[in-house]
Structure 1
Amino acid sequence: MTQEYTAESVTADGEQHRTGSRVRTLIGRWRDDPGIWRRGIVLAILAALVSLLMIFHAQLPNTIGNLGSLTETFLPWFGLFVPLIFLLALVRRSATALIAVLLPAVIWVNLFGGLFTDKTDPARDAGELTVVTHNVNADNPDPQGTAGKMVASGADVVALEELTAKAVPVYEAAMKGTYKYHSVQGTVGLWSKYPLSGTKPVDIKLGWVRAMRSTVTTAHGEVAVYVAHLPSVRVKLHAGFTANQRDKSADALGEAIAAEQLPQVVLLGDLNGTMNDRALEGVTAQMRSTQGAAGHGNGFSWPASFPLARIDQIMVKGVEPTSSWTLPRTDSDHLPIAARVELR
């Protein structure tokens, strides 16, 4: 039998042969290189340090510039060291560094790999209550357009933070056709398709109102909804991570939620901190993040132009998250975030 060869098959076979030859040559060079284990010691040490920071971040002290909280805020980004060390190890032809980089890679996947699996529950994704929270930015040049996007989200309940006295009437006028019930307390507000009752400010130790609480009466029962905008944090060269006021407010908010009588609780707001930040433990220890429980991806919300951290949160207690996601950008410096929950 005569075997026929096409030009394409000959070309493909030749290319495969050349690729295999290159790989064998590279392996041979590495195998015969006496310095393959001696080079890259600094890279291996760097890999070890990154690993230690990810494992023991909770032991970093906050007494010096809130170093622990600063590290925890950007902890997911430590994963960028893995491809960097890997590429440098290849350039240095260092087997030691290539082996060492496996450690931070495994640790990062263990800590954050779950964020990139879709945890939406398809069987219950319709949910029973859809909520949205958005820091609309006091300097928002188009509050009417932002309000329109909140309406278009289809949410049952919308929380807005950083409201100004000038912008509030704009939001009220743009959203009243969809949301029959609403309340504004200080610089935060709540819009709802369901009746609100027991609405009041929540004292988070600031001297002015940046948090509120209301009972939302749905067809599936009452839900205590909290809206909060914790104080901003700053990173300063001379002072480090200045977050003391934020931390005190977080503790006060946690105490208010702990004293809540209703079993179903939803917290919406800009907490100016991530779920990893130990300073928010007064809140995070008793509530779940909808992003962590039912989201897909990291859900970063700030800054809107290039999100680096999820400092806007939807957290729940006594209800079951079924999905969580970020909404398209508005004229704010934050992205709106949304979630669906199943009431019990």
Structure 2
Amino acid sequence: MSPTRPTVSTWFRPRSAWLASVLVAGVLTFHAVVPNRVGRLGSLLETFLPWLGLAVPVLAGVALVRRSPIVLTTVLPPLAAWLALFGGLLLPRSDGAYDLTAVQHNVSDTNPDPAGTARTLLGADADLIALEEVTPSHAREFTAALDYPHHAVMGTVGLWSRYPLTGVRAVDIRPTGVGTDWNRGLRATAATPSGAVAVYVAHLPSVRLGPGFGTARRDESAALLGRALDAERLPDVILLGDLNSTVDDRGLDPVRAHLSAPREGLAFSWPASFPLARIDQILARDATVTRIWTLPDTGSDHVPVAARIRL
């Protein structure tokens, strides 16, 4: 005699719904305890952490199917946990007082239309524009199209500024085994009307999804960037970059130890076809990113992000 298989209604019982509810709420609240030793599962979870909020409409749908007020209450634990983590990012806010606007964009080294990309970026009326995957030919095209008075390019990263730039130098964030021709970090001092600001542009190594979540090179590069930020002597610091990491991912902890994240706005930037995460970051020290948002698609696999910053 064959064992009885669970029916669809079995999974919709209050006990099963409550189990799912508590599990999701627990993972949201205690995501930091999910281990990274096996397949970097903790980092993978934290990269897409906001999407666990989809459990709320799923549980609400289960309640409607069963017409069960008891099941409907199962939305409360994950909803409360999600709002505690991300609710503040959704609050409507005006620009308020700010001192400058910055744009961050990985333009893609196969960008077919640098001039068109530049026009999109100019729409933000930014004081600082940081770009990654800038090829030598694209660097010339972006410089001409953006027409900013000051700019600096190191390797494949560049900074265009309305304010004078001094102290421009490369920042070595090369992971082990990478040659000296790999240059994805720069640092410059921008002489803004509010005072000198250290501006960093960085492009951390990509991660790989395979057997596990391949973040070793990115994490090593993030640690090197963290050391550079720790050694920075100017109090006001802005970091613009494709960090291949969300601010929730513990792999970015060496950087987050020195910089604060935006107070509002999800601004998912990757992949451009259906953005799932913000891996393009605008972070600050002794300054506040008061608002962050995305700009229109440029044909890259990332969409640009822009931010207001109060110094």
Instruction: Work out whether the TM-score is over 0.5.
Output: yes
Pair 223,105 (structure 1): closer, same or farther in 2 beyond 3 Å:
same
8 A Cα contact 1:66 1:242, kept in partner: yes
Aligned partner of residue 134 in structure 1, secondary structure: strand
Q: Which residue of 1 aligns with 2:92?
A: 118
8 A Cα contact 1:233 1:272, kept in partner: yes
Q: Which residue of 1 aligns with 2:169?
A: 200
Instruction: Confirm or deny that 1:150 pairs with 2:121.
Output: yes
More displaced stretch, 270-279 vs 325-334: 325-334
- After superposition, the C-alpha distances for 1:89-113 in whole angstroms (9 at most, x for unaligned) are 3323445433333211111111111
TM-score normalised by structure 1 residue count? 0.82
Q: Which runs of 5+ in 1 are unaligned?
A: 1-34
CA distance in structure 2 between the partners assigned to 1:45 and 1:54 by the alignment: 14
Following superposition, which runs of at least 4 residues in structure 1 exceed 6 angstroms of deviation?
none
CA distance in structure 2 between the partners assigned to 1:152 and 1:86 by the alignment: 40
8 A Cα contact 2:119 2:146, kept in partner: yes
Q: Which residue of 2 aligns with 1:251?
A: 223
Q: Which residue of 1 aligns with 2:107?
A: 136
Counterpart pick for 1:168 among 127, 139, 142:
139
Instruction: Confirm or deny that 1:63 pairs with 2:31.
Output: no
Query: How far 1:305 moved relative to its partner?
Result: 2.0
Counterpart pick for 2:259 among 277, 287, 305:
287
Pair 152,90 (structure 1): closer, same or farther in 2 beyond 3 Å:
closer
1:31-42 to structure 2, matched below 5 A, reads 39-42=13-16
8 A Cα contact 1:41 1:96, kept in partner: no
Aligned partner of residue 288 in structure 1, secondary structure: coil
Pair 228,89 (structure 1): closer, same or farther in 2 beyond 3 Å:
same
8 A Cα contact 1:39 1:96, kept in partner: no
Counterpart pick for 1:324 among 277, 284, 292:
292
Percent of aligned pairs sharing the same letter: 52
Q: Which runs of 5+ in 2 are unaligned?
A: 1-8
Partner amino acid for 1:288?
S
Radius of gyration: which is bigger?
A: 1
Aligned partner of residue 199 in structure 1, secondary structure: strand
TM-score normalised by structure 2 residue count? 0.90
Counterpart pick for 2:213 among 241, 251, 275:
241
Partner amino acid for 1:108?
W
Q: Which residue of 1 aligns with 2:130?
A: 159
Partner amino acid for 1:151?
L
CA distance in structure 2 between the partners assigned to 1:334 and 1:101 by the alignment: 33
CA distance in structure 1 between the partners assigned to 2:161 and 2:195 by the alignment: 14
Query: How far 1:43 moved relative to its partner?
Result: 2.0
Q: How many residues align?
A: 297
8 A Cα contact 1:44 1:96, kept in partner: no
RMSD: 1.9
Aligned partner of residue 340 in structure 1, secondary structure: strand
Query: How far 1:173 moved relative to its partner?
Result: 1.9
Counterpart pick for 2:48 among 70, 74, 79:
74
1:23-38 to structure 2, matched below 5 A, reads none
Partner amino acid for 1:187?
T
